[in-house]
Amino acid sequence: MIVAKAWRGKRYAVLGLARSGAATVRALVAGGAGVVAWDSDEAKRAVFAPSPLRGEGRGEGQPSSAAPVAAPLPTLSPEGRGLVDVAPLDDLTGFDALVVSPGVPLNTHPLAAVAREAGVPVIGDIELFSQARADLPAHKVVGITGTNGKSTTTALVYHILKTAGIPTLMGGNIGLPILEQEALPGGGVYVLELSSYQIDLTQTLDCDVAVLLNITPDHLDRYDGFEGYAASKARLFAMQSAGHDAIIGIGDAPSAAIARGLSGRAEHLTKIAPGVCLFQGDWPALQGPHNAQNALAAIAVAKALGVSEVDIDRGLASFTGLPHRMQQIASYGGVAYVDDSKATNPESTAPALAAFERVHWIVGGRAKGDDLDACRPAFGHVVRAYTIGEAGPKFAKILGGSMPVEVVGTLDAAVRSAAANAKPGDTVLLSPACASFDQFRDYEARGAAFRAAVELLA
């Protein structure tokens, strides 16, 4: 577990007790901090309610139906150990920080406003990790952000470093919460996938290598327009020391503008232009033009960290990809079935359509916008579309003039129909260009349902 000496004796309010929130509470307590924690889910609260680490605040045993009261200030044991209490958070006076999960909307959540009025910083677990860096063995940090491709690029960098024998951990928006993992030995590299939400909650993370892959419209309900979203991504570089490395894809105007603003970094700035000709035949899990960009970014990171060309080549060739990201899960009768459930917006679906010659496209869910314009250049690859979920009827109207379309409604029905229509050499592709929440818990559950439906075809 990663802890910081700077937390000792301080008092933190923690909102949200899912994976990262629970890990945050444990790390803060291990570091000698006092914590009051809260989650609207009684089951998540119960994990900490009977804990021997708890303090003696007013919130003990508070039933979920009780009216909110001011959170008690957490106590500290005479031995200096941290203690945790469970209570509703209402008054934040006296706390050193409010720690929230990235899912808490800072622009609308009432507790965020309470914190601002009380002058209490609102931070996340990545900021706590940044505060702990001074107490860790000598290391480097790679931070990777972008609207699309950041999970694959993060996992690829991590894999290349492991292949090269460099101690490394992967965290942030992927894998285990970073505070829950054991600190690396000297010379290690922490590779962090960072969403815009996580960057919003971070003030001091000085990445040795910072990466921006792209910026396209997404999560606009959390920002003051597209400009606000782009500004959030730019903060990753604003937190960097000028002598540290910045790697930026310049295929879109906002990213290119950020790169121009960093032109003074000279040799510490690497720009990745779109359309670079790159042989990908030796990289089975990195097909398609978008993965060419991901690979170029990962190569630039590895070179900035001093990894040899031989180890980079070995890592690229042996990378197996990530679940739900253009993952081939089966092949029946010469027809490939590809799970790209992580493609939750049109911009992330477009590269998947372009990667295959003849596609039976399963598309739909809860739409994040009103069009599929980003996918239009690849419409010529689509043999037939099968629309599902809330967006199904609307998407059928959009696509009807460009390709045959079936409004099938459900994922299992789409798989059966696509299998009936597909010929050897075709690809049945789940790349929904939508969020999953109309029919599934998350994109992972949607991908699992796709796999289950495909396995029934065998």
91-118: per-residue pLDDT in tens?
899 999 999 988 788 878 899 889 999 9
Mean per-residue pLDDT for 341-355? 92
278 and 155 within one domain: yes
Nearest CA-CA partner of 217 in 366, 349, 108, 347: 347
132, 4 in Cβ contact below 8 A?
A: yes
CA distances (Å), origin 289, targets 153, 233, 278, 292: 14, 23, 9, 5
Three-state SS for 440?
coil
Q: Which residue has the tokens 């998540």?
A: 44
| Amino acid at residue number 34 | G
Nearest CA-CA partner of 241 in 225, 218, 264, 258: 264
Joined tokens for residue 374 = 């980003």
301 and 166 within one domain: yes
Q: Which of 41-55, 132-146, 339-353, 416-430 has the lowest mean pLDDT?
A: 41-55
Using a pLDDT cut of 90, give the percent of the chain over it.
Answer: 75
Joined tokens for residue 148 = 């699309």
How many residues are recorded in the chain? 458
How far is 295 from 241, CA to CA, in rounded Å?
25
**Position 408 pLDDT exceeds 90:** yes
148 and 16 within one domain: no
Q: What is the DSSP letter of 333?
A: T
Q: What is the dihedral of CA 170, 101, 322, 413, to 10 degrees?
A: 170
Nearest CA-CA partner of 199 in 237, 152, 236, 172: 236
Within-domain flag for 51: yes
Joined tokens for residue 443 = 């994109």
Asked which of 123, 142, 176 is the last residue of a domain, the reply is 123
How far is 296 from 265, CA to CA, in rounded Å?
20
Mean per-residue pLDDT for 176-192? 97
372 and 226 within one domain: no
How far is 263 from 50, CA to CA, in rounded Å?
54
Question: pLDDT (tens digit, 9 = 90+) per residue, 376-405?
Answer: 999 999 999 999 999 999 999 999 999 999
Question: pLDDT (tens digit, 9 = 90+) per residue, 41-74?
Answer: 899 888 887 544 444 333 333 333 333 334 455 5
276 and 156 within one domain: yes
272 and 152 within one domain: yes
416 and 269 within one domain: no
Joined tokens for residue 258 = 């950020």
**Position 153 pLDDT exceeds 90:** yes
**Position 246 pLDDT exceeds 70:** yes
Within-domain flag for 155: yes
How far is 315 from 362, CA to CA, in rounded Å?
32
pLDDT score recorded for residue 53? 47
pLDDT score recorded for residue 72? 54
How far is 359 from 378, CA to CA, in rounded Å?
10
How far is 295 from 315, CA to CA, in rounded Å?
10
Give me the domain span that covers residue 448: 327-455
Catalytic residue positions? 150, 173, 219
43, 126 in Cβ contact below 8 A?
A: no
Nearest CA-CA partner of 125 in 51, 181, 53, 188: 181
268 and 201 within one domain: yes
Give the pLDDT band of residue 284 (cuts 50, 70, 90).
Answer: confident
Within-domain flag for 221: yes
Within-domain flag for 304: yes
How far is 173 from 189, CA to CA, in rounded Å?
16
Mean per-residue pLDDT for 264-281? 89
pLDDT score recorded for residue 320? 87
Over the chain, what is the mean pLDDT? Answer: 90
190 and 89 within one domain: no
Within-domain flag for 81: yes
385 and 284 within one domain: no
Within-domain flag for 128: no
CATH number of the domain that residue 410 is part of: 3.90.190.20
How far is 362 from 396, CA to CA, in rounded Å?
11
pTM of the predicted model as reported, rounded to 2 decimal places: 0.81
Question: pLDDT (tens digit, 9 = 90+) per residue, 133-151?
Answer: 999 999 999 999 999 889 9
CATH number of the domain that residue 74 is part of: 3.40.50.720
Give the pLDDT band of residue 321 (cuts 50, 70, 90).
Answer: confident
Asked which of 123, 143, 163 is the last residue of a domain, the reply is 123
How far is 57 from 354, CA to CA, in rounded Å?
58
pLDDT score recorded for residue 158? 98
Residues 6+ apart with CB under 8 A from 228: none
178 and 300 within one domain: yes
369 burial class (0-12, 13-18, 19+ CB within 10 angstroms)? Answer: middle
Joined tokens for residue 308 = 């040899």
331 and 314 within one domain: no
**Position 203 pLDDT exceeds 90:** yes
Angle at 406 between CA 401 and CA 408, to 5 degrees: 145
Q: Where are the alpha helices (DSSP H) in 385-442?
A: 392-399, 411-421
List binding-site positions for ATP: 146-152
pLDDT score recorded for residue 102? 84
Asked which of 123, 151, 181 is the last residue of a domain, the reply is 123
339, 447 in Cβ contact below 8 A?
A: yes
**Position 172 pLDDT exceeds 80:** yes
Angle at 399 between CA 396 and CA 404, to 5 degrees: 85
Phi, psi values for residue 333, rounded to 5°: 60, 35
The domain tally of the chain equals 3
Within-domain flag for 348: yes
Mean per-residue pLDDT for 447-454? 98
208, 142 in Cβ contact below 8 A?
A: yes
CATH number of the domain that residue 253 is part of: 3.40.1190.10
